Structure 1
Amino acid sequence: MADIHIEEFYKDTAIALVQLYNAFPRRVNLFVEDIAGPDQADEFGLHSRRHMACFGSLLWLAEEGYVRYVDTIRQEALDQAVLSHRAFTRLSAQASAELIDRFAPQQVADESIPPSVREDFSTHVHIIRETIRGGNSAQVSQVMQAIFFQDSH
């Protein structure tokens, strides 16, 4: 994928959704710096393009019904954020056979692992975690596209 800002968007949304899933059902503050890294405001107090792109990704998640929050903390964070029902069920759901085959085939096929654990390995959230850990932006983008585009079919 040639558009770096789109790859950053997918990575930011993946990290944000995993952070909220890990805290679910608690409401937490979702800080941009925890997702996109530290930011140094310029002499006018304005954030970098990268920081603002991440903040925009968080707002997009809310506008599209994946996240709910009480307020923003300046342009630093979403205050009291929580996954929506839609996002929670999507992340908890079993991924398609294609995603499993591409991103978690050994874990799901390993007969020495108990079935309940193999089932957990086949969820969207597990596959997102694994692709984030792998550090490959293109793979994170592919996984997030598959998850976001489920609604359009």
Structure 2
Amino acid sequence: MADIHVEEFYKDAAIALVQLYGAFPRRINVFVEDIAGPDEPDEFGLHSKRHMACFGALLWLAEEGLIRYVDTIRQEALDQAVLTREAFIRLSSPAPQTLVHALGQLQAGSSDTLPPSVQEDLSTHIHLIRTALKSGHSGRISQAMQATFFADRPVH
């Protein structure tokens, strides 16, 4: 079992990537509160560790070249964020079939009944992430995010 902060990181990153993919190529504001839930700063104006961990996950995604943004809005949000080319290609690309089947995306025999274009859509990294988030199962979210992070980098 992974450390709880790593599982929260995977979930935060997954939610942010799904939001940005859904808006692509538009730039949007990504609010920490929409990902990690409401947070009330303490009497000194400091956010909770959970809030700051989520904010840190967003910054990490940018540092690793998966998202770009114009500025931060205090420690509340990323202003005008968008997926990078690399992230868009990675999220749109097919995930390994073993993982697709392991996470229950394609049921046995369904490949015979679904059109190839639908099969392709159901096997992308973004679909795996969305499905894992819907399940709410932290292990599935972690698996989907690890597969996305460790996928072969696109050729430039």
Q: TM-score range by the shorter chain?
A: over 0.9
Q: Which consecutive unaligned segments of at least 5 residues does structure 2 have?
A: none
TM-score, with length taken from structure 2: 0.92
Larger helix share, 1 or 2: 1
Equivalent in the alignment of 1:26: 26
Deviations 1:9-65 (A, max 9, x none): 000001100000000000000000111111111111110000000000000000000
Letter in 1 for 2:51: H
Kindly report structure 1 stretches of 4+ aligned residues shifted beyond 4 Å.
Answer: none
**Counterpart mapping for 1:3-152 below 5 A:** 3-103=3-103, 104-106=105-107, 109-151=110-152
Q: Which consecutive unaligned segments of at least 5 residues does structure 1 have?
A: none
Deviations 1:57-93 (A, max 9, x none): 0000000000000000000000000000000000000
After superposition, the CA RMSD in angstroms is: 1.6
Letter in 2 for 1:34: D
The answer to whether the 8 A contact 2:69-2:79 is kept is yes
Letter in 2 for 1:150: A
Letter in 2 for 1:141: S
Change (3 A) 1:99 1:124: same
Q: Percent identity?
A: 67
Letter in 1 for 2:16: A
Equivalences, count: 152
TM-score, with length taken from structure 1: 0.94
